Amino acid sequence: MAEKETIVVVDFGSQTSQLIARRVRDINVYSELVPYTSSAEKIKSYNPIGIILTGGPLSTFENGSYKIDPEVYNLGVPVLGICYGMQLTAQTLGGEVSTGKNAEYGKVEIEYADHPLFDGVKKNNSVWMNHHDQVTKLGKDFKGIGKTKNTKYSAIANDKKKIYGVQFHPEVAHTEQGIDILKNFVYKICGATGSWTMNSFVKDQVELLRKKLTGKKVLLALSGGVDSSVCAALIQKACPESLICVFVDHGLLRKYEREQVEEVFKEQFKINLITADASERFLKKLKNKTDPEAKRKIIGKQFIKVFEKEAKKIGKVDFLAQGTIYPDVVESGVAGSAVIKSHHNVGGLPSVVDFEEIIEPLRDLYKDEVRKVGFELGLPEKIVMRQPFPGPGLGIRVIGKITKEKLEILRDADFIFRDEIEKAGLSDKIWQYFAVITNMRSVGVMGDHRTYDYTVALRGVNSIDAMTADWYKIPYEVLDKCSNRIVNEVKHVNRVVYDITSKPPATIEWE
Ligand code: XMP
């Protein structure tokens, strides 16, 4: 197995730090995001072929601004500074930075000099800027290789030491040929060969996992979500006799979800899958509970209890596998702190399973890479492209008391909604869409009878990271079909509404 070619991306708190790391991976080179507080020694430990310094919100000359260990420039590895990263580089290596007369925000015309960094890039091009400070003086061996109307040094180079800087953001789509510039840096200057593909990832991981797991037992909580599904398929490919999956059916799943998981993993993939049917237990514990947080806590706690019961039957295992992915563990940003996965259905598991070690085969991957791996492994699209589904499931989409009847209504309405979205070709355009059964009943009329039935709410949102979301403008004809079908096909629903609030101030889920 070849050593992983790595570009280390040093994060100075820019909005686009993650994006830079993603772009590098998109051009088939592995990248790691590290906080700016990382020492040169630490950065060296990744054995990088190149280093990229991101932008950041501060001025390099203001008190308390983020610095870099200057030894980073002596590692003998090419460095590319972007925006703040370029200014910091210039300042650290003998140049000067000050606030410019004119700020540059948004699209700006640039003129590049002849330089390998701009090979194949049009000489006069437009780039995306976001700065007021600029480099005003260069240190020894530096030269300007790009300028704009307002900024003399929009790109700089020290060819001797292979240290470069661009004031603009090559990683954003608005910079013309920005990807070509990143490619030039990564391939021509750092000498990458482009070995980071999901095909090679699968091969390498299968080899590693086989070595590690042969003759051992590994337990995985399979939720049917993308991460745990891909994790299961990967381990199954490496070492089928080692893997045991437990799938907890808490009775709060969507229509046909359990059947789908069993069909794919048991029938197709021949995985040793244990389904724990605990729907009655969950319903009992949730009886008469209406507070959303109380519901979440009960569901989380019962999930762990059910899993514990199954784990006890299995006995001691060597490994507990988890579908943790890169955004769950990446240490980035100004705080330099790791984001800890708070997903309830994995959070408490380590304490109830008797195991030696946790394995997380997907921890280097971004979500879209996990999906590519899923396809490589032959998982069906309906699993690989599955939209986010909360751990507490339909439990937080039944407003008020959770009853069997309300769950049935919700499942049917939700199924119709998803079916119509798919038929309208919108499923890959809407990030998350689902139905909610409100706790409201109102008067309607059906035939000659008055009805007093539930209102179902439909919700469709687009989001990048679930922190903010916009409601999706589903065409009226599609909403019309959904509404018609739901009131006609689902008993006890006489009103359908569409949620047109964004997050904030609303949340994506109703509870
Ligand atoms: P909200 O409703 O907070 O949802 O805007 C943001 C995203 O998180 C999902 N979500 C959850 N996921 N356990 C989970 O695993 C939960 O308790 C939970 N609550 C919300 C939600 O579906 C959306 O994608």
Dump pLDDT digits (tens) for 350-371: 889 999 999 999 999 999 999 9
Residue 78 in this model has a pLDDT that exceeds 90: yes
**Radius of gyration for the chain, computed over Cα atoms and rounded to the nearest angstrom:** 27
Residue 331 in this model has a pLDDT that exceeds 70: no
Ligand 1: atom nearest CA of 463 is 24
Residue 73 in this model has a pLDDT that exceeds 50: yes
Ligand 1: atom nearest CA of 391 is 15
Residue 27 in this model has a pLDDT that exceeds 50: yes
Output phi, psi for 312, to 5 deg: -65, -40
Q: Mean pLDDT across the stretch 302-309? A: 95
Query: What is the distance in A from the centroid of ligand 1 to the CA of 510?
Result: 10
What is the percent of the chain with per-residue pLDDT over 90, rounded to a whole number?
A: 91
**Strand ranges, E, within 236-361:** 243-249, 273-277, 319-321, 331-332, 337-338, 357-359
Query: What is the distance in A from the centroid of ligand 1 to the CA of 390?
Result: 5
For the Cβ of 255 lying below 6 angstroms from any atom of ligand 1, the answer is no
Please tell me whether the peptide bond between 504 and the residue prior to it is cis, using omega within 30 degrees of 0.
Answer: yes
Query: What is the distance in A from the centroid of ligand 1 to the CA of 463?
Result: 12
pLDDT at 349: 87
198-384 has which fold?
Rossmann fold (3.40.50)
Ligand 1: atom nearest CA of 296 is 17
Query: Are the CB atoms for 121 and 177 separated by under 8 Å?
Result: yes
Q: How far apart are CA 152 and CA 110, in angstroms?
A: 10
6-189 has which fold?
Rossmann fold (3.40.50)
Mean pLDDT (the chain) is 94
Element (H, E) at 308: helix 292-314
For the Cβ of 386 lying below 6 angstroms from any atom of ligand 1, the answer is no
pLDDT at 338: 46
pLDDT at 344: 40
Residue 343 pLDDT class (50, 70, 90 cuts): very low
Q: Report the candidate in 9, 12, 129 with the shortest Cα–Cα distance to residue 60.
A: 12
Domain spans of the chain?
6-189, 198-384, 405-498
Q: Mean pLDDT across the stretch 245-251? A: 97
Residue 21 in this model has a pLDDT that exceeds 50: yes
Provide DSSP, 414-461.
HHHHHHHHHHTT-TTT-SEEEEEEEEEEEEEEETTEEEEEEEEEEEEE
- Closest-CA residue, ligand 1 atom 12, reads 390
Q: How far apart are CA 385 and CA 190, in angstroms?
A: 34
Residue 339 in this model has a pLDDT that exceeds 70: no
Please give the C-alpha separations between residue 307 and each of 175, 224, 276, 477, in angstroms, as whole numbers. 50, 15, 8, 44
Query: What is the distance in A from the centroid of ligand 1 to the CA of 253?
Result: 15
- Closest-CA residue, ligand 1 atom 16, reads 390
Query: What is the distance in A from the centroid of ligand 1 to the CA of 509?
Result: 6
pLDDT at 17: 93
For the Cβ of 228 lying below 6 angstroms from any atom of ligand 1, the answer is no
Q: How far apart are CA 102 and CA 149, in angstroms?
A: 10
Q: Mean pLDDT across the stretch 287-309? A: 95
Q: How far apart are CA 350 and CA 327, in angstroms?
A: 20
pLDDT at 146: 98
Question: Which of 341-345, 351-355, 401-405 has the highest mean predicted lDDT (pLDDT)?
Answer: 401-405
- Closest-CA residue, ligand 1 atom 22, reads 390
Residue 347 in this model has a pLDDT that exceeds 80: no
C-alpha atoms less than 13 angstroms from C-alpha of 286 in its C-beta half-sphere: 34
For the Cβ of 59 lying below 6 angstroms from any atom of ligand 1, the answer is no
For the Cβ of 391 lying below 6 angstroms from any atom of ligand 1, the answer is yes
Residue 348 in this model has a pLDDT that exceeds 80: no
Residue 199 pLDDT class (50, 70, 90 cuts): very high
Residue 479 in this model has a pLDDT that exceeds 90: yes
User: Is 198-384 the same fold as 6-189?
Assistant: yes
pLDDT at 341: 37
pLDDT at 137: 97
User: Which CATH number is associated with domain 405-498?
Assistant: 3.30.300.10
Residue 70 in this model has a pLDDT that exceeds 90: yes
Facing residues of 47 across strands? none
Q: Mean pLDDT across the stretch 92-120? A: 96
Residues annotated as catalytic (active site), given as ranges? 83, 169, 171
